[in-house]
Amino acid sequence: MAVWRVPPILCKVAHRPFDLPAEPAQYLQSLAQADRPFFLDSAAQHPHWGRFSYLGCDPLLTLTFTSPGPARLELSDDLPGHARHRDLAQNPFRALEQLSNALTLANPSAPEQFSGGLVGYFSYDLGRYIERLPSLACSDIALPELCLNLYDCWAAYDHTTGRWSLAALEFPRGSWLDRGQSPTQKMDRLAALLTADTTELTDWPTTGHSTDSPQCNFTPEQYLRAVRRARDYVAAGDIFQVNLSQRFTVDLQCHPLQAYLQLRRISPAWFAAYIQMPGKAILSSSPELFLRRRGQTVITRPIKGTRPRRAQPDHDLRMRHELSKSIKDAAELNMIVDLERNDLGRVCDYGSVRVTHHRQMEEHPTVFHLVSTVTGQLAPHTSTVDLLRATFPGGSISGAPKVRAMEIIEELEPTRRSVYTGAIGYIGLDGSCQLNIAIRTIIADGPRAHCQVGGAVVADSDPDAEYQETLDKGLAMMAALRNMPLSQLVFK
């Protein structure tokens, strides 16, 4: 196999203000018919964690990896040259490194904003290219394990100021990424798409019928048995905790964009995303930040501890109090914070890793969570790919110790996780990154939609309570897929 040596290229980013009267979700349907539209969506809004949203379409190139490899670049038809596909390294992280090292941004903008880069997802299953893991679970979702798109134009919305802007990348004339368009022409084209009359969504492949209830990769009895088996591993000293999940599958009755817009209405989140590919889509309403890198500063915010909300003041007050006093949930979070400190310590300056906030109570539309914030200063010459290799997948959705927990997940869960509990977001050309933990995430795979939910199993876990927690976490996704108000959904 010939590995393509990616030609190095220096690019610049140009910006200009843009005037639109509404927030980004109102314009997403305008891009749905374009090639591979994306929406990184701060739906819940927060001045620090959820300030900006970004959307765009028609990427210059797509980097994908499907086991056993190699990674592959798919180039846009309007780029120079004849070869539309190029093979990169056999290891997906090495391939990402090849591409990232070749692309340099000469004039990055404000450090808190996206200045151009690769947008997409990392599946949980990429963890086996970092650690040696058994191969036991069935891989039955036909998505690449890695899919990242390089966009040369995008729109940004600042939720704090209510202002829009457009941005575009400029490449040297005649280079392999030069479409022959100026940044102004690229921004004009995107502006025209966003302001055009909204067209009806084209038909999405559906089964034409709907099952009465979701299909699950576990029966309730099997899931309870798996929780008990996980507790046995804790009792034997193999692990302190493991995240055990189950997956629900339903027939898709609408375009996934419609399901996403319903999901963000029911359960808006700071790190939400909609990523569309031909015949497939990722719909994420994740409240959890996996990694944010700005310069040499890196942040992770693990979540552990969940209680359901019911929009009933007495119930919600009781749940808040119960979660705040829970010794079990506090212990779970403490373990994962220690794990994240250790992971960041692999690539950060000695003594720089700190827990800046611990056990904060956060309110989300359907649940309460306990969250901690861990920060560090990356050692000199540490790349974002180095950071990923040290931390992926996140400890909050694997367990502690991480590698042994991942081995147990592979044994106890009957199917591979795919995008669920991987990461969605961007890797910036300026070295920055922002990636969520892909929880509260729906995978639209042709006519079927998969949503997976899990929780941490520890020594004193009650199997029935663990099972119920997965149902509580899945409510918003099932309501979105069935296009009904959350209050009307009975999820058994």
Residues forming the active site: 288, 304
Residue 4's CB is within 10 A of a number of other CB atoms, namely 17
Class of residue 443 by CB neighbours under 10 A (exposed 0-12, middle 13-18, buried 19+): buried
Contacts of 211 (CB under 8 A, 6+ apart): 250, 251
Instruction: Provide the pairing of β-strand 303-308 with 297-300.
Output: unpaired
Measured torsion, CA atoms of residues 402, 406, 407, 413, in degrees rounded to the nearest 10: 150
Q: CB–CB of 298/313 below 8 Å?
A: no
Backbone angles phi, psi at 336, to 5 degrees: -70, -35
Return all residues near 151 (Cβ < 8 A) that are at least 6 apart: 38, 56, 57, 58, 59, 60, 116, 119
Q: Are 335 and 320 in contact (CB under 8 A)?
A: no
Please report, for the chain, how many H helices and E strands are present, in that order.
10, 25
* Cβ-based neighbour number of residue 471 at 10 Å: 15
Question: Is-contact 455 243, C-beta < 8 A?
Answer: yes
Within 8 A by CB and 6+ apart from 318, the residues are none
Peptide bond into 414 cis (omega under 30): no
**Burial of residue 71 (number of CB atoms within 10 Å: 0-12, 13-18, 19+):** buried
**Rounded to an integer, what distance in angstroms lies between the CA atom of residue 468 and that of residue 461?**
12
The span from the CA of 147 to the CA of 489, in Å, is 33
8 Å CB contact between 418 and 236: no
What CA–CA distance (Å, rounded) separates 54 from 168?
12
Q: Nearest Cα to 397, choosing from 425, 424, 417, 374?
A: 417
